Amino acid sequence: MVSRADRSRFAEWFWTVDHYLLAAFFLLMVGGVVLSFAASPPVAERIGVETFFFVKRQALFLGPALAVMLAASLMTPRMVRRAALLIFIASVVMLIATLFIGMEVKGSRRWISLLGFSIQPSEFLKPAFVVLVAFLLSESGRRREVPGVLFSILIYIICAALLIAQPDFGQTMLLGTVWAGLFFLNGLPWFLIAGLGVIGVMGLASAYIMLPHVAARVDGFLDPSSGNTYQIDTAMDAFLSGGWFGRGPGEGTVKRILPDSHTDFVFAVVAEEFGIIACLLLVSVFAFIIIRGLNHASRDQDAFGRLATAGLTVLFGLQASINLAVNLNLMPPKGMTLPFISYGGSSLLSSAMTAGALLALTRRRPRPTRGEPVTVSRLSPSSLM
């Protein structure tokens, strides 16, 4: 047990971190490895690799992901900003490189091979983007001469252009929604919010008209007879097969014909083998993280802390919601992973970065006592560096 009299860095972290959020994230991380035993062996057998190939790789990334989350949770808000800037620059460079030397999978270039591992730069871009936009908006609100709003718009345009070039419309829409949410939380006037909404609708319409794969997914969702809805139909069969209590661990059969059962449709595998009750428990963990994160944001007196905490929480929750909605046929397929649960090293490490930054920003900070002046030490442009 860590004593409250202990003044070490670990003791300070232990007594200030949100233990409930930490436990929820750890539960999801372990749950992702456990559920990979159910979801990934059929996929491994179909592609001709060792049965537990994906399980072993997911377990291999669990240690680094846990280390990333804990290391990030030790950071101060200033350190979070610095790390976000470095990760953002590295991610943009890798996104540009991906367009030229990236691996092409299903007509898209989203992965780049480094040291024998396939890395998806867009996964690491997301949390860094949210933190940087939160800083820029908080600065523009504190100092009117700082063009934080303009810079945040330029940053999003750069990110959106690189993602659409892959193409990866799902990640573009996710970033755009979180970006607009940060503007809303920062107190954007209603007429500008309406303008953002119009731009968003125009962007969706343009994607439908100009990108054939987007049009095919939307048409397949609106009219199943017009396109290939095999994965969605199979996922729905998994929910019906599992019922309330599931068929039992390892007893699922629908997963054997579900191509992306270990990634985009792992939730359907959970439904078949463990039942609707287990699905509701999993959703409850995600809901707890979202509610607790937003609660922290609402009580934060610092503009950057409030926006960054809310933005990271919305990013985490929205990505999970999109994945769950696709599994339940509530929206067109987006190729979005379920944080910590879906297979993928990049997704796991990115989720760990998001979780670590949230834990760092929601740690209890000492407040000035009565009569003691309030000092602001983390809101100048130079403080980012």
The domain limits of the chain are 13-363
For residue 280, what pLDDT is reported?
Answer: 95
Question: Which residues lie across from 118 on neighbouring strands?
Answer: 113
Q: What is the pTM of this model?
A: 0.88
Tell how far CA 213 is from the center of its chain.
Answer: 23
Number of separate helices (H) and strands (E) present in the chain? 14, 3
Task: DSSP letter for 265, please.
Answer: T
For residue 4, what pLDDT is reported?
Answer: 64
Helix (H) or strand (E) holding 110: strand 108-114
The answer to whether residues 27 and 235 touch, using CB atoms and an 8 Å cutoff, is no
Tell how far CA 361 is from the center of its chain.
Answer: 17
Sheet with 117-119, side-by-side order of all strands: 103-105, 108-114, 117-119
How far CA 297 is from CA of 12, 245, 294, 313, in Å, comes to: 21, 36, 5, 9
For residue 289, what pLDDT is reported?
Answer: 97
Whole-angstrom Cα distance, residue 275 to residue 257? 19
């297979």: which residue's tokens?
343
Tell how far CA 175 is from the center of its chain.
Answer: 10
Whole-angstrom Cα distance, residue 232 to residue 239? 11
Token readout for 121 is: 């730069």
Whole-angstrom Cα distance, residue 115 to residue 3? 43
For residue 2, what pLDDT is reported?
Answer: 64
The type of residue at 368 is P
Tell how far CA 237 is from the center of its chain.
Answer: 27
Token readout for 213 is: 């794969």
The answer to whether residues 160 and 173 touch, using CB atoms and an 8 Å cutoff, is no
Q: What angle do CA 57, 63, 67 make, to 5 degrees?
A: 140
Other beta carbons within 10 Å of 190: 8
The answer to whether residues 163 and 171 touch, using CB atoms and an 8 Å cutoff, is yes
Token readout for 346 is: 């990049």
The low-confidence residues of the chain, meaning pLDDT below 50, are 368-383, 385
